[in-house]
Amino acid sequence: MAPMSRRRNLAARAGAPGGLAALSVAPAAAAALPQPDAGGKGGTDPGPRDPIRDAENPDILNPPATDHGTLPNLRFSFADAHMRRTDGGWTRQVTEREFGVSKSIAGVNMRLVPGGVREMHWHKEGEWSYMLAGSARITAVDQNGRNFVDDVGVGDLWYFPSGVPHSIQGLHEGCEFLLVFDDGSFNEDSTFLISDWFKHVPPEVLAKNFGVPASNFGHTPDPEQRYMFPLPVPGPLASDRVAGNGTVPDSFSFRLLAQAPVRTKSGTVRIADSSNFKAAKTIASALVEIEPGGLRELHWHPNADEWQYYISGQARMGVFGASGDARTFDYRAGDVGFVPFAMGHYIENTGTETVRYLEMFRSAHYADLSLNQWMALTPPELVQGHLQLDDQVMQALQKTRHQVVPA
Contact between 158 and 252 (Cβ < 8 Å)? yes
Q: To the nearest whole angstrom, how small is the minimum distance from the Cβ of residue 339 to Mn ion? A: 6
Task: For residue 307, count other CB atoms closer than 10 A to its CB.
Answer: 27
CB 167 to Mn ion: min, Å: 9
Which residues of the shown chain bind Mn ion in the complex (CB under 5 A)? 127, 306
What's the gap between Cα 206 and its chain centre?
41
Quote helix, strand, coil % in the chain, to nearest 5.
20, 35, 45
The H helix count followed by the E strand count for the chain is 10, 24
Cβ of residue 302: shortest distance to Mn ion, in angstroms? 11
Distances (CA, A) of 66 to 396, 404, 405: 23, 22, 21
Residues 6+ apart with CB under 8 A from 312: 333, 353, 354, 355, 356
Minimum distance of Mn ion from residue 120's CB (angstroms): 10
- The helix or strand, by DSSP H or E, that contains position 208, with its residue range, turns out to be helix 203-210
Query: Phi, psi (5° rounding) for residue 33?
Result: -80, 150
For the stretch 48-82, what's the b/e string if a residue is b when 16 or more beta carbons lie within 10 angstroms of its beta carbon? ebeeeebebbebbbbbeeebeeebeebbbbbeebe
Q: Which of 119, 125, 289, 359 does the annotation list as catalytic?
A: 359
Question: Which of 11, 341 has the CB closer to Mn ion?
Answer: 341
Q: Which is nearer to Mn ion, 14 or 358 (by Cβ)?
A: 358
Nearer to Mn ion, 196 or 306 (CB): 306
Residue closer to Mn ion (CB basis): 14 or 360:
360
3-state secondary structure of 128: strand
CB 135 within 8 A of CB 173: yes
> Closer to Mn ion at the Cβ: 317 or 333?
317
Query: Are the C-beta atoms of 49 and 25 separated by less than 8 Å?
Result: yes
H or E, element range at 228: strand 228-229
In a 3-state reduction of DSSP, which class is residue 20?
helix
Does the annotation count 359 as an active-site position? yes
Q: Smallest distance, Å, CB 69 to Mn ion?
A: 21
**Closer to Mn ion by Cβ: residue 306 or 348:** 306
CB of 306 vs Mn ion, minimal distance in Å: 5
Closer residue to Mn ion in complex, CB, 45/335: 335
Of 245, 107, 239, 231, the closest CA to residue 167 belongs to: 231
Rounded to the nearest whole angstrom, what is the least distance from the CB of residue 360 to Mn ion in the complex?
A: 10
Q: What number of other Cβ atoms are within 10 A of residue 34's Cβ?
A: 15
In degrees, to the nearest 5, what angle opens at C-alpha 57 toward C-alphas 360 and 79? 60
Catalytic residue annotation: 359
